[in-house]
């Protein structure tokens, strides 16, 4: 039986557009969001808050651009949402450990997980498909909504929205 996130709703969010390496940015871990990335994530945050106001926890990769994305998502919710930085979303994360952390948050809840490519695409593939070759390219700032059937190991992709589509929803 496939592993499932076992939550009510899991949102996978790829961090916003990040600055390239160079200049004062010396490591991949320290790459911040660009000003455009910040604006796009703010629009995504407003739209996502309208689409699901019940999110109480945002899990984030420890990399700077992901933490910034998570903090912007949380601020659009008026402070009622906790950001939890976890190594289980760092590049190359263990799917099993991440899903265990998500399950520990409880069933019937909405959770946002902010991370990176190609790991989020691989996680999506695992959750919704038995195919080992399914590859999903997730653009910066995109949001995917996945629902789970508790205890049955069944997940389904409900939608994937680009930052542009979410921006239109946030107006």
- The pLDDT tens digits of the residues spanning 14-69 come to 999 999 999 888 999 999 999 999 999 999 999 999 888 889 899 999 999 999 99
pLDDT at position 152: 52
Q: Where are the beta strands (DSSP E) in 22-93?
A: 57-60, 82-85
% of the chain surpassing 90 pLDDT: 61
Of 27-31, 39-43, 114-118, 149-153, the range with the lowest mean pLDDT is 149-153
pLDDT at position 166: 79
Between 66 and 128, residue with greater pLDDT = 66
The CA distance from 19 to 105, in Å, is 32
Q: Tens digits of per-residue pLDDT, 133-146? A: 677 889 999 999 99
**Closest C-alpha among 77, 68, 47, 76 to residue 159:** 47
Would the pLDDT of 109 be above 80? yes
Model confidence at 88, pLDDT cuts 50, 70, 90, reads: very high
The arithmetic mean of pLDDT across residues 145-162, rounded, is 78
Would the pLDDT of 159 be above 50? yes
pLDDT at position 168: 78
As beta bridge partners, residue 154 has: 149
The CA distance from 140 to 13, in Å, is 8
Q: Would you mind telling me the total number of residues written for the chain in this entry?
A: 171
DSSP state of 30: G
Structure tokens at 62: 């420890």
Would the pLDDT of 1 be above 60? no
CB 72 within 8 A of CB 81: no
Domains defined for the chain, CATH in brackets: 9-19+26-170 (3.40.50.1240)
Between 130 and 68, residue with greater pLDDT = 68
Phi, psi (degrees; rounded to nearest 5) at 62: -75, -5
């Amino acid at each position: 039986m496939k592993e499932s996130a076992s939550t009510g709703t899991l949102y996978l969010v790829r961090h916003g557009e990040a600055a390239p390496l160079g200049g004062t940015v010396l490591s991949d871990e320290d790459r911040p969001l660009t000003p455009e990335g910040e604006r796009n994530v703010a629009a995504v945050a407003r739209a996502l808050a309208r689409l699901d106001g019940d999110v109480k926890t945002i899990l984030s990769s420890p990399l700077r651009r992901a933490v910034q994305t998570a903090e912007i998502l949380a601020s659009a919710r008026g402070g009622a949402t906790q950001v939890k930085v976890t190594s289980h979303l760092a590049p190359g994360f263990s799917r099993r450990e991440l899903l265990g952390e998500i399950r520990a948050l409880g069933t019937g809840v909405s959770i946002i997980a902010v991370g990176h490519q190609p790991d989020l695409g691989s996680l999506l593939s695992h959750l919704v498909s038995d195919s080992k070759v399914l590859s999903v390219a997730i653009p910066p700032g995109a949001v995917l909504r996945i629902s789970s059937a508790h205890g049955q190991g069944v997940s389904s992709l409900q939608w994937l929205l680009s930052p542009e589509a979410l921006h239109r929803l946030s107006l």
